[in-house]
Amino acid sequence: MIANPNIPEDVRAVASNGTQLRYKLMELTAQYPDAIALGRGDPDLATPAHIIAAANEAVRQQRSGLSPVAGLPELRQAVAAKLRRENGLSAEAENVIITTGGQEGLFLIMQTLLDPGDEVLVPDPRYTSYDEAIESAGGRMVLIPTDHDDAFNLRPEAVEAAITPRTKAVLIITPSNPTGGIVTEDRLRQIADIVIKYNLIVISDEIYEKFLYDSWRHFSIGSLPGMEERTITLNGFSKTYAMTGFRVGFVAAPVNFIQAMVKVKAATTGPAATISQWAGLAALTGPVEPLREFQRIYTERRQIMMDGLRTMHLDFSDPRGAFFLWTNSSSTGIHATELSYLLLKEGRVLIFPGTSFGENWGGYLRISILQSTDLLREALDRMQPIIARYRANH
């Protein structure tokens, strides 16, 4: 708990739990009707029209009965084709399970993979749902340090140093939430050698794969020799196609692991919503122009936010992908949780503190770009005097 009188008791009470802290700040935001939310990672853009049309058509044709637990065969085939075409995997439909969003996919992976006491190597900072998924399966999270000067890339030597006899898997998130960093191809190749050497599994979270900037490109570790049989790939439709409310994701893995996941899913949630699956099929097989427009919009917004943060003399790590700027707020002299609360209370801008992505990050803010350009500029204008005041006093 943070002992600071400027932070309300209910915020201090959850300050050590990243997920609860994020939800508490969102709850407080409801008190301010004019607040600008730069917190959550839910795309604000409209779901492409052809996806909505496919969902409507599925309803009209009454194609809403339960699918097989593993997902609609047509969608599993389309996902496998996408993985072959874009990610260099040799996936077939039986290598794919359709999940109720990426979040369920994450929990199903951990429940299927881990035995009590197994260790999973996790980059720090991280989205704290990983913590909860690992813990729920009786596993233990071992943090791998990353740093600002390296754009929060994952260092192979740090991965190897963290391995113990209990290590079961390495979690790779690229692009990363919260840092916007990526794990570059050269590092992934080195990590693959380490994983093979120690006979480990890789869980590769690639949910933000479509949104990279400048000259950076996505690379899937499962495409490397000897890695497909030991890689579990987590992905989905929510970020790429602005389909968060549809709750449809997917996992690709060796057939025996998918079959084990299906058993867990059958005993818990059952199949993903059929209408959402038909919408997902349309997303994968429809026009790519909406994605190009999304990329253009996010690139413009990213530039606005970078320019605004530089004007406030706030440093940030190189945002190579995703929707976030991982911003060093230590020059203000106050803890990120307090600063986030003050930005909300005084500036009506919701920004998540770095501590909502790991206890080591009290000097960082995660700022999203999921608002219109006008609202991003307004948010920066509101933030500027608050940041300037604390920088001047530090």
Residue ranges matching CATH 3.40.640.10 in the chain: 60-285
**Second-level CATH architecture of 60-285:** 3-Layer(aba) Sandwich (3.40)
pLDDT by 10s per residue, the chain, length 394: 344 556 777 776 666 665 777 878 888 888 889 999 999 889 999 999 999 999 999 999 999 999 999 999 999 999 999 999 999 999 999 999 999 999 999 999 999 999 999 999 999 999 999 999 999 999 999 999 999 999 999 999 999 999 999 999 999 999 999 999 999 999 999 999 999 999 999 999 999 999 999 999 999 999 999 999 999 999 999 999 999 999 999 999 999 999 999 999 999 999 999 999 999 999 999 999 999 999 999 999 999 999 999 999 999 999 999 999 999 999 999 999 999 999 999 999 999 999 999 999 999 999 999 999 999 999 999 999 999 999 888 7
- Encoding tokens for residue 3? 């002992």
**Local structure of residue 169 (DSSP, 8 states):** E
- Cβ neighbours, 10 Å, residue 298: 20
**Local structure of residue 321 (DSSP, 8 states):** B
| E strand or H helix at 188 | helix 185-197
- Give the Cα separation of 327 and 319 in Å (integer): 10
User: What is the pTM assigned to this prediction?
Assistant: 0.94
Measured at the alpha carbon of residue 376, what is the angle toward residues 373 and 379, in degrees to the nearest 5?
Answer: 155
pLDDT in the model for residue 41: 87
Q: Report how far apart, in Å, the C-alpha atoms of 118 and of each of 201, 234, 251, 393 are.
A: 12, 20, 21, 47
Taking alpha carbons only, the member of 170, 172, 144 closest to residue 158 is: 144
- Give the Cα separation of 109 and 105 in Å (integer): 6
Tell the residue number behind the tokens 């869980």, with chain if given.
203
Question: Where does 66-156 show beta strands of DSSP type E?
Answer: 96-99, 119-124, 140-145
- Encoding tokens for residue 232? 């579990």
* Cβ contact 5:339 at 8 Å: no
For residue 31, with 0-12 CB atoms within 10 Å meaning exposed, 13-18 middle and 19 or more buried, which class applies? exposed
Taking alpha carbons only, the member of 205, 210, 161 closest to residue 183 is: 205
* Cβ contact 141:135 at 8 Å: yes
pLDDT in the model for residue 1: 39
* Cβ contact 198:163 at 8 Å: yes
Classified as helix, coil or strand, 186 is helix
- Cβ neighbours, 10 Å, residue 246: 26
pLDDT in the model for residue 22: 83
**Local structure of residue 138 (DSSP, 8 states):** T
Backbone angles phi, psi at 321, to 5 degrees: -160, 180
pLDDT in the model for residue 9: 74
Taking alpha carbons only, the member of 366, 362, 342 closest to residue 352 is: 366
- In this structure, is the dihedral angle defined by the CA atoms of residues 60, 62, 66 and 69, taken in order, positive or negative? negative
Classified as helix, coil or strand, 143 is strand
pLDDT in the model for residue 335: 92
pLDDT in the model for residue 40: 84
At the topology level, CATH places domain 9-45+290-388 in Aspartate Aminotransferase, domain 1 (3.90.1150)
- Give the Cα separation of 163 and 168 in Å (integer): 9
- In this structure, is the dihedral angle defined by the CA atoms of residues 149, 152, 155 and 158, taken in order, positive or negative? positive
pLDDT in the model for residue 2: 47
Q: Which residues of 351-378 are buried (b: 16+ CB within 10 A; e: fewer)?
A: bbbbbbbbbebbbbbbbbbbbeeebbeb
- Give the Cα separation of 131 and 310 in Å (integer): 33
pLDDT in the model for residue 16: 66
